[in-house]
Chains A and B, each alone.
Chain A
Amino acid sequence: MGLEHATVGSLVLLALMIAPVLYYIHRARRGDQLYVRRIRAVDAIDEAVGRAAELGRPMSYTTSITGVGPLLYACLGILYHIGSKAALYRNKLLSPQSDPQVMAITEDVLRDAYRDQGRLSSFEPRNIQYLSDEQFAFAAGYMGLIQREQVASAFLFGSFAAESLILAEAGQQIGAMQVAGSVNIEQTAFFVCTCDYTLIGEELFAASSYLTNEPVQRGSLYGQDRAKLLIFCMIIMGVAIATYNSWATHSGSRILPTIESLVMG
């Protein structure tokens, strides 16, 4: 049945998942070194930015149909890093947009990035263009934009739907170096085929932490991993309980409560 309101079990689970995050953020802020393994695709972001600067051609960064939410926040971390590099190397960064609200937030983040590099005068709001909130109209506009501007590096991060292959193939056709990351697994498959480097699933959330080396993001990432460890243990327990219960049903022994019944009530 449904979970319309929280049960005690679900609240306990929520607390167990959030507590490690808060704990490790506290530790990271205190100065503790928290190890994050290297992800090749994240290193490739700097490589792509450098490539664009050497070639003297612009870069593009798009979040496509991503709306305002936690995922956008993760993408903004990467955008800030790329924007800082673009300001430093005085390289043009195009950011075609599909959502007006996201466009306003993106403009703010990029302006901050340029300001923090002392290059506010180089910041061009015109490079943050609203194309369309219609999926394929956006894809058509994006294709036209990057092919006219001949971008050297293209970054695609966020939530994508069917237009992902169109966007990525457009970059492929002009020989751009492409780094992509999406939480939509179906689209990740297309990115793997067409982009040079791809971040899969939550690596997108980790990328921001990896690039900025911020204590809050590092601690958050560490805490997430502990939360996943908890889920891992629950899966093992659940499998063990289900296996035991299937034996107990046949032998007439007492059946254990399942994880679902404990959490959902």
Chain B
Amino acid sequence: MIGAIDRRVIYLLVLLGLSIPLLKNYSVRPAPIAAAANLYQLVEELPSANGRVALIALDYGPNLVAENGSQARVMIEHLMRRRIPVVLTALYAQAEPYLEALPQEIANRLMLEFPDQRWTYGTDWINLGYRVGGFQVLQSIAKSDNLANLLKKDARGNPLTELPIFSKVHTLKDIMLVGEFTGLVGMLDIYLQFLQTAEYRPPIVHGCTSITIPDAYIFLDSGQISGLLEGIAGAAWYSELLSKASPARAIDESRVLNTGLGVAHLVVIALMILGNLTMLWNRRRSE
């Protein structure tokens, strides 16, 4: 009988499969993901902001930054390219460092690509910080008729009434798009449930982790979310579309991560096939 492979050998194979492409910076063209392409089109066809904003929620921690962080990066970049002001927030405390660092990093890259243009805090984006209260925050935002009064200050302590980005934002109707990036169980549900009124529901797009893709498809199919980024694969294809539209754009890490993940998938598939062949061989021999 052929014995089972020691699990340490399996772990080593997975480690090699993941790390070699990442260390070598090896990347291949990602597979086309229809949902990511549709989301790209949705953002591309958004009307001019005219004082309205996009609310982007980064509800992920260091564990999920590889997937959700990559998704948030491409989405915020696209919104900034389209000059749609972005308001960032989180209902998850561990996301706080990313709220400050991510948009600044994207703005810096865009200013390198377009030296004659500026993207500045207060005009192109603000950070509302981590908000305590979970669904109550969203419920309050939905019901408020003066968001600047409700939310009071940004994460840096600046009163919202003094920030240009908030000059025409008063109610939920002034939020033209909501982006929720999370892998946390139940987090998307509270946005869908509470960030709406009887008269208005902003289009909600979702960046999910690979594990929650089947769950997210239910919401996409029923129309409760208007767009979806599926794990790192979705972020990589979105990035590909951005690069097609802007050839001078620097390649981001999602393509490399996606390739590494692809190699790891191949390792798992090979192990599955090997396991079945082993089982078949042993069965034949014992017969």
Contacts and interface: CB of A to CB of B under 8 A. Distances in A.
| A and B touch in their complex, CB below 8 angstroms | yes
A4 B185 contact: no
B184 A185 contact: no
A252 interface: no
B183 interface: yes
A1 B224 CA distance: 10
Nearest to B64: A162
Contact of A2 (B183, B201, B211, B214): B201
Contacts of B197: 2, 4
Given A1-B196, A136-B63, A162 B211 contact: yes
Majority DSSP secondary structure for residues of B touching A: loop
B116 interface: no
Contacts of B185: 65, 159, 161, 184
Interface string A176-188: 0000000011100
A160 to B, nearest CB: 8
A185 B214 contact: yes
Contacts of A185: 214-215
A186 B201 contact: no
Chain A contact patch, size range:
10 to 19
Given A1-B198, A2-B198, A2-B201, A162 B214 contact: no
B199 interface: yes
Contacts of A159: 185
Interface string B205-247: 0000001101100000000000000000000000000000000
Nearest to B213: A186
Contacts of A162: 63, 183, 211
Contact of A186 (B63, B184, B198, B214): B214
Contacts of B183: 162
A186 B199 contact: no
A2 B184 contact: no
Given A2-B196, A185-B214, A186-B214, A161 B201 contact: no
A186 B212 contact: yes
A184 B215 CA distance: 10
Interface of A: 1-2, 4-5, 65, 136, 159, 161-162, 184-186
Kindly list the 5 A-B residue pairs having the minimum CB-CB distance in the complex, ordered from nearest: A2-B196, A186-B211, A161-B185, A4-B198, A2-B201
